[in-house]
Amino acid sequence: MSEHTFGDEPAAGAEPARRLVLVHAHPDDETLTTGITMAKYVAEGAGVTLVTCTLGDEGEVIPSDLRHLASDADDVLGPHRALELAAAMRALGVTDHRVLGEGRWRDSGMVWSAPGVAAQGARVHPRAFVRADPDVAAGLLADVLREVRPQVVVTYDPMGGYGHPDHVMAHRVTMRGVELARQDGALPGWQVRAVHWVQEAHSWARAERRAVLAAAQDGRLPAGMLPPDYAEHPPAVVPDDQLDVVVEAPEHLPAVTAALTAHATQVCVEPPWFALSNDVAHRLSAREGFRRVFGPPAAVDGQVADDLFAGLELPER
C-alpha cells in the first residue's frame, strides 16, 4: 500500500462511527479545556481517545499535605497525577486514555514570562518533553492514530494556548503526527479528516473577567480565591469570528466538575468556581471553543457549528 492509499473505514458495528483523539500536555489539561467535549461525545457513543504527553511532574501542588510529592521534594508527583487522571477519566466516561511513549518524557517545567503567558525555565530535566525528537514523538502518536483511526483530532494552537513549552511541543507533535499517520507503519496509513485547535472567544474571556471581578467586589468568591490582577488574555483567546465550532453541553457540567475535583493536586474546586495554583478564580463552564485548521469548513453561511464532526462525510451506521 502506498502512503497515499489509506485504510478503509471499519465494517459497520466494528467500532464507533465517530472517533475523536485529543492530545494534551499534562493531566488536568484535558478536563480544563475539553472536559465538556469529551463527556458529550462519550455520552453520544463516539469513540474518545485521550493521549497525554507527560505526567506533569513539575506541576505546583496546591494541598499542603501533598506538597512532599513535588519535584523539589520526593519527586513522585507524576505517578500521583496518573492516578488523578484515571479518576478524572472515570468521571468523564473515557475508557481509552494513554500516555505518549508510555511515560518516556517528563514535564518540562515553565516560568511566567508575562501575565498569563508561560515560557521555558532555566531548569530542564534531561528527559523533558521539550528535549524530545519531534519526529520520534510524532511517530508514536501516528501509531495511535493508525490504530484508532479518528476522523477528528484536537490539540492546542501553535502557542500552546498560553505558551507552556509542553503545550507548544504537544501542538508540534500532533500536527506532525497527523502527517506521519498518512504513511503506512505497523498498521495501514490513516488520513485524519479534521484537526481542531482549542481556543476561546474574546467575548467569553471579557465576560468571565467581569463576572469574577464582580464576585470579588460582592464578596462571593470562596476564601483564598482571587480576581485577576491583569487585563491581558493568553494567546488562546482569539476574536470571536475565528471560532467555527462551539460545543456547549451543560448536562455534562457535573461530570466535568467531578473530573476537575479528581485533579486535586492542581485544581481547587468550589462550584461554581475553581482555581489553579495561582489562586485566580474561574467560573466552571459548559462551553468550549475550537478552530478547525484542517479539513472542510465546519461553519456554514457564517453559522458556527456545534459539532466537531460537522461537514465530514462519515459512513452510515
Q: pLDDT tens string for the chain (317 positions)?
A: 233 345 566 554 568 999 999 999 999 999 999 999 999 999 999 999 999 999 999 999 999 999 999 999 999 999 999 999 999 999 999 999 999 999 999 999 988 888 778 888 878 899 999 999 999 999 999 999 999 999 999 999 999 999 999 999 999 999 999 999 999 999 999 999 999 999 999 999 999 999 999 999 999 999 999 999 888 889 999 999 999 999 999 999 999 999 999 999 999 999 999 999 999 999 999 999 999 999 999 988 889 999 999 999 886 54
Paired strand residues for 201 = 238
pLDDT recorded at residue 1: 29
pLDDT recorded at residue 27: 98
pLDDT recorded at residue 232: 85
> 302 — alpha (psi -120 to 50), left (phi > 0) or beta?
left
CATH of 19-294, one of 3.40.50.10320, 3.10.129.10, 3.40.50.1370, 3.40.50.720: 3.40.50.10320
Question: At 282, which helix (H) or strand (E)?
Answer: strand 281-283
- Can you tell me the distance from the alpha carbon of 298 to that of 196, in angstroms, rounded to the nearest whole number? 10
Cell digits of residue 288:
468550549
- Can you tell me the distance from the alpha carbon of 264 to that of 64, in angstroms, rounded to the nearest whole number? 11
- Can you tell me the distance from the alpha carbon of 203 to that of 209, in angstroms, rounded to the nearest whole number? 10
pLDDT recorded at residue 164: 95
Tally: H helices and E strands in the chain: 6, 13
Q: What tens digit of pLDDT does each residue of 53-66 get?
A: 999 999 999 999 99
DSSP state string for 92-153: HT--EEEEGGGTTSB----EEEETTEEE--S---TTBGGGS-HHHHHHHHHHHHHHH--SEE
Stated pTM of the model:
0.94
pLDDT recorded at residue 113: 81
**Residue position matching grid coordinates 532555566:** 122
**Residue position matching grid coordinates 519527586:** 75
> What is the phi/psi pair of residue 179, to 5°?
-65, -50
Residue-wise over 123-144: b if at least 16 C-beta within 10 A, else e?
ebbeebbbebeeeebbbbbbbb
pLDDT recorded at residue 13: 54
Residue 288 in 3-state DSSP? strand
Q: What tens digit of pLDDT does each residue of 193-244 get?
A: 999 999 999 999 999 999 999 999 999 999 999 999 888 889 999 999 999 9
Domain coordinates in residue numbering, the chain: 19-294
> 38 — alpha (psi -120 to 50), left (phi > 0) or beta?
alpha
